[in-house]
Amino acid sequence: MRRPSKMRLLIPLAALALSACGPLVQIGGNDKAPVALLTLRATATVGAPAADLSRSVSVVTPTVPGPLQTLRLPVITRDTELAYLTGATWAEQPNKLFARVLADTIAAGGVPVIDARQSNVGAARTLSGQLVEFSLDVRDAAAPAVVLRYDALLSGDGGKTLLVRRFDRRVPVSSQAPGDVAVALNSAANAVAGEVAAWLPR
């Protein structure tokens, strides 16, 4: 009768030792998975890409202040207090979602939008800025609303600033449920994106 080799004995012992340390790979972290992830979508219809690159624009993801550097949704409870909406989780950080809505809306208006990360062709103009506010405001309990504030900066070839403008939008919410708040923010994002598209020189 053959005796089991030392190697065969070591394999189950090693497996037993590793199992005592817990799983080697844990997918999704320790937090409970959200019921749904919130996102934004452009309502403008994107047609055939425009060919006049002299009007092209590169849309840079806006910078954001600290409260928006998260997947959570800020709630303005008082002038000096913020909270986060329970159960609300964005699929991506809101500035990235907003940048995509901006790009799709501008492109739908016939302006070529060039993604610098995917093209060697430089755009004639660059749209950058800061998403200052992208929150639910409940300071007035009788009239809760979402607020979006975007400070836009349009620069030309060589980084020369051409135009600067602040865009503000406030949209009432039907309820403070995450889904309803996301719908209102999507409406605000598309409204501001439309204003930005109309503001760009043709």
Is residue 29 classed as helix, strand or coil in its secondary structure? coil
Higher pLDDT, 21 or 201: 201
CATH architecture of 50-199: 3-Layer(aba) Sandwich (3.40)
Token pair for 134 = 């992208």
Find the mean pLDDT for residues 60-76. Answer: 97
Residues 6+ apart with CB under 8 A from 41: 101, 186
- 194, pLDDT greater than 60: yes
pTM of the model: 0.81
pLDDT tens by residue, 172-181 = 999 999 999 9
Q: Mind listing the pLDDT tens digit for each residue in 126-165?
A: 999 999 999 999 999 999 999 999 999 999 977 888 999 9
Q: Which band of pLDDT confidence, cut at 50, 70 and 90, is reported for residue 11? A: very low
Helix (H, G, I), strand (E, B) or coil at 191: helix
